[in-house]
Amino acid sequence: MTVPDIIIAIDGYSSTGKSSFAKLMAKELGFLYLDSGALYRGVTLFAQEEKFISPSNEINPALEAALQGLDLWFASDNRTFIGERCIEKEIRTMEVSSQVSPIAAVPYVRRFVDAKLHELAGGGRVIMDGRDIGTTVFPNAEIKIFMTAAPEVRAQRRYDELVMKGENPVLEEVQENLRQRDYIDSHRETSPLSRASDAFILDNSNMTISEEVAWVKGLIKGKFNLYDD
Ligand code: DC
């Protein structure tokens, strides 16, 4: 199947498996994958290390000017970097997760990330995941998916992921972090998480990743009248 130069937007709640799915889909279609959450996480790590955010989530407005000098980028294997330093591991810790939502609620941070996504997306053939890709960042994306899954399924997935990475999480804390992030992400003033009216809902509580890929490929085929090669 030869897919045209389109943009695929995957939005949804935390830990619905958006990035694993989007990465696999990108590989299958030969598309570029962009993880917008990694950019918010990168800004959060930067803000923490440079003390622009306090433990009680107070954000120093000087962060806005400092972002102009922040060289945040993705390598071709999707790892996230600040300058020469790979920050892939650091941005996935609970420490970053616990402050990323307040950082992502700041309008100038959102403008910084949106501009970066537009710059990186170029002319299309890109699949992006996040919270507001189909509603705000690329409202004209040709294919929009809104991913969801039962909260207990999501918490367990996130917990397993952290264990795999060698962390020592507490399930209740993971559940609470997800609950808080869902709340802040859906209630913030600037581009809250919401389903675009033209997004297809994908509830993957009981689906395998290959079933998800087959489902979305079916959507693409239907939309563009494509056939298997
Ligand atoms: O997808 P993730 O869990 O890595 O995203 C981390 C945080 O970044 C998430 O809690 C909300 C925020 N985010 C956002 O506000 N908008 C996006 N497009 C992507 C992520």
Confidence of residue 14 (pLDDT cuts 50, 70, 90): confident
Q: Which atom of ligand 1 lies closest to the CA of 181?
A: 10
Q: What is the Å distance from ligand 1's center to 28 Cα?
A: 24
Q: What is the Å distance from ligand 1's center to 148 Cα?
A: 14
Q: Is 138 in the pocket of ligand 1 (CB under 6 A)?
A: no
d(CA 185, CA 104): 8
Per-residue pLDDT tens for 159-197? Answer: 998 899 898 999 999 999 999 989 988 998 988 888 999
Q: Which atom of ligand 1 lies closest to the CA of 41?
A: 6
Q: Is 13 in the pocket of ligand 1 (CB under 6 A)?
A: no
Residue 94 has what pLDDT? 87
Give the mean pLDDT of the chain.
Answer: 94
Q: Is 16 in the pocket of ligand 1 (CB under 6 A)?
A: no
Residue 208 has what pLDDT? 94
Give me the domains of the chain, ranges plus CATH numbers. 7-219 (3.40.50.300)
Name the residue among 112, 104, 87 with its Cα closest to residue 181: 104
Q: Which residue owns the Cα nearest ligand 1 atom 10?
A: 101
The fraction of the chain above a pLDDT of 70, given in percent, is 100
d(CA 67, CA 136): 21
pTM of the model: 0.91
Confidence of residue 225 (pLDDT cuts 50, 70, 90): confident
Q: Is 97 in the pocket of ligand 1 (CB under 6 A)?
A: no
d(CA 124, CA 32): 8
Q: Which residue owns the Cα nearest ligand 1 atom 4?
A: 37
Per-residue pLDDT tens for 105-119? Answer: 999 999 999 999 999
Q: Is the pLDDT of residue 153 over 90?
A: yes
What the block records as the tokens of 169 is 């999480």
Q: What is the Å distance from ligand 1's center to 76 Cα?
A: 21
d(CA 87, CA 85): 6
d(CA 168, CA 74): 27
